[in-house]
Amino acid sequence: MLRYRYLFEQMVRRELRQKYRGSALGVLWYVINPLVLMAAYGLMFGVLLKAVSIDDYLLFLLVGLTVWVFFAGSLLTAAGSLLDQGSLVGKMRFPRETVPAATVTVQLVTFAVLLVFVAPIAVAVRGTLDPALLLLVPIVACLYVFVLGLAMVVAILHAYFRDVAPILNAALLPWFFLTPILFRLEDLPGLREHTWAETLLQWVNPVTPFVEAMRAVLYSGRAPELGVLLYVPVAAAVAFLLGRAIFRRMEGELAVVL
């Protein structure tokens, strides 16, 4: 694995160059995207619908959206990544994991740039300069590893079955609304009658703990709850190991199916 660190660096560099080629604003576009989403949702749910009463709602939204944009963007680009690199995979022998991993890492770069903007604003607006802020780094690292695992699964499945990307695309929108990004789980009145739904949204949806952990640190200025704090690294490890196992099991025929 270490032997291919240099290859991985090179692949990421190539992806970055390809992604930002010919655009004057470059990485800024990827920062603007969640800001636009934040403004739209803020206007709809915070101002017009008055569905939520959360302090600094825009910032609340922005932290959740940042996580979601990284998560969804990574999976969508990873799904087509092996197909995009089909000729390379068919002509050269190198660890195939580096292809989806490079696309996720490029998403991580934009995610990091976004955090560089968001974190100081959050600290300034919410006064969240707390030792808990140090948890930001391990949480982001866990999120990265978690997404890496899922990305490997999505990428290899899509190489064999071309419906995977459309299915993923269709699933991501409802998934977004089932993730507490626009709201807090504890604010949902319906959940009191349906505790199974609360379990579902809180623990079965693996994105929820990551959103909550990020929000605890950045928006609330405190460490995440113990359950969330344990869930995040475990989810990352399980997703990564499982994803890698599935990838390795299926990668043999890649050069043939692409």
Structure tokens at 245: 């196992």
Does 255 interact with other proteins (rule: CB under 8 A)?
A: yes
Q: How many whole angstroms separate alpha carbon 103 and alpha carbon 127?
A: 34
Q: Which of 29, 161, 227, 230 binds other proteins (CB under 8 A)?
A: 161
Question: Least separation, in Å, of the C-beta of 27 and other proteins?
Answer: 16
- Which residue stretch of 15-23, 39-47, 126-134, 186-194 sits at the interface with other proteins (rule: CB under 8 A)? 15-23
Does 163 interact with other proteins (rule: CB under 8 A)?
A: yes
Q: Which of 23, 40, 90, 192 binds other proteins (CB under 8 A)?
A: 90
Element (H, E) at 86: helix 86-91
- Which residue stretch of 47-55, 87-95, 118-126, 213-221 sits at the interface with other proteins (rule: CB under 8 A)? 87-95
Does 6 interact with other proteins (rule: CB under 8 A)?
A: yes
Does 92 interact with other proteins (rule: CB under 8 A)?
A: yes
What region does 221 belong to: left with phi over 0, alpha with psi -120 to 50, or beta?
left
Residue 255's Cβ-count burial label (10 Å; 0-12, 13-18, 19+) is: middle
Q: How many whole angstroms separate alpha carbon 174 and alpha carbon 232?
A: 22
114 φ, ψ (degrees, to nearest 5): -60, -40
Q: Which of 88, 123, 132, 191 binds other proteins (CB under 8 A)?
A: 88
- Which residue stretch of 38-46, 100-108, 156-164, 184-192 sits at the interface with other proteins (rule: CB under 8 A)? 156-164
Distance between the two ends of the chain, CA-based, in angstroms? 24
* DSSP state letters, 8-29: HHHHHHHHHHHHTTT-SSTTHH
Which residue in 177, 193, 233, 191 sits closest to 209, CA to CA? Answer: 233
Does 249 interact with other proteins (rule: CB under 8 A)?
A: no
Which residue in 91, 77, 63 sits closest to 216, CA to CA? Answer: 63
Within residues 119-138, the interface with other proteins by CB under 8 A covers: none
- Which residue stretch of 1-9, 39-47, 67-75, 143-151 sits at the interface with other proteins (rule: CB under 8 A)? 1-9
Question: Least separation, in Å, of the C-beta of 15 and other proteins?
Answer: 9
Question: Least separation, in Å, of the C-beta of 177 and other proteins?
Answer: 25
Q: How many whole angstroms separate alpha carbon 26 and alpha carbon 31?
A: 10
# residues near other proteins by CB under 8 A: 30
Which residue in 214, 233, 79 sits closest to 146, CA to CA? Answer: 233
Q: Which is nearer to other proteins, 167 or 185 (CB)?
A: 167
Does 27 interact with other proteins (rule: CB under 8 A)?
A: no
Structure tokens at 226: 């113990």
Question: Least separation, in Å, of the C-beta of 32 and other proteins?
Answer: 23
Largest CA distance in the chain: 57
Q: Which residues in this chain contact other proteins in the complex, by CB under 8 A?
A: 3-4, 6-7, 9-11, 13-14, 17-18, 21, 87-94, 160-163, 252-253, 255-258
